[in-house]
Amino acid sequence: FQPKHFERLRVLLTAGPTVEPIDPVRVLSNRSSGKTGYALAQAAWEAGAEVTLVSGPTALPCPYGVTRINVESAQQMHDAVMQNLNGQDIFISVAAVADWRIKNVSPEKIKKDGKTTPNIEFEANPDILANVATQKNAPWCVGFAAETENLSEFAHAKRLRKGIPMLIGNLAQHVMDADHTTVSIFDDRGEHALALNSKQKVAQQLVSEIAQRYQQSRTT
């Protein structure tokens, strides 16, 4: 039994990696498994929320009760989030969104000629979280930061740069694709570390932490 921290709330999440095409058979992606985002979606539903999960490709089943929208690229994820933003109370941005996409996507499979290597050009993807946070009537936004070093410094700076009230940080090398995770919460009061636990347990704790801060923001 989970406490109904999110009763009568609508929660939108992103999870998983994004996949950026290079040509019709090749892609650029990252090591996100989606486990943390899916665990949070499930915990949010168990806490009473109506949950929409915009997900990049993962091997995970859709959690019971959750509405999943499948996407591949960052641009598709951005568009799906914007189309489903209206009326959401909380946005939790867990996805590992590719920062760049390939500008010169080849319409045909790039052939090797034995002499040259492909000339792949990059362009920036939209920052979904930052765009959501600056919308009129934006939901209460929670971001994630997976860093490989200087977590506290980068996470504090990232929270302020994205203009969001709460950011959850972890060290990428410890958690990507693992079943356990250790995270720290960054907000205007500072940093607060949660103990190492299963992603399910951490997700339940995070729902409670998010709900407390969300309710506080409503009453102040």
One symbol per residue from 61 to 80: x for binding ligand C5P (CB under 6 A), - otherwise; what is it?
-------------x------
Give the whole-angstrom CA distance, residue 32 versus residue 132.
22
The closest of 38, 53, 43, 55 to 4, measured between CA atoms, is 43
The closest of 72, 70, 69, 79 to 126, measured between CA atoms, is 79
| Number of residues binding to ligand C5P, judged by CB under 6 A | 15
Q: Which is nearer to ligand C5P, 39 or 145 (CB)?
A: 145
One symbol per residue from 152 to 191: x for binding ligand C5P (CB under 6 A), - otherwise; what is it?
------x---------------------------------
Q: Which of 144, 151, 165, 169 binds ligand C5P (CB under 6 A)?
A: 144
Tokens at residue 83, please? Answer: 């189309």
- Distinct helix (H) and strand (E) counts, the chain: 6, 14
- Alpha-carbon distances, residue 21 vs 72, 167, 174 (angstroms): 9, 29, 28
Pairing of strands 100-102, 122-124: antiparallel
Interaction residues for ligand C5P, span 7-26 (CB under 6 A): 14
Give the whole-angstrom CA distance, residue 135 versus residue 132.
5
Q: Which is nearer to ligand C5P, 14 or 33 (CB)?
A: 14
Give the whole-angstrom CA distance, residue 143 versus residue 218.
19
Considering the candidates 30, 84, 170, 197, report the single residue annotated as catalytic.
30
Active-site residue flag, 197: no
CB of 70 to ligand C5P, least distance (A): 17
Q: Which of 145, 155, 175, 210 binds ligand C5P (CB under 6 A)?
A: 145
Q: Which is nearer to ligand C5P, 79 or 127 (CB)?
A: 127
Active site residues: 30
Residues that bind ligand C5P (CB under 6 A): 14, 74, 93-95, 97, 99, 125, 127-129, 143-145, 158
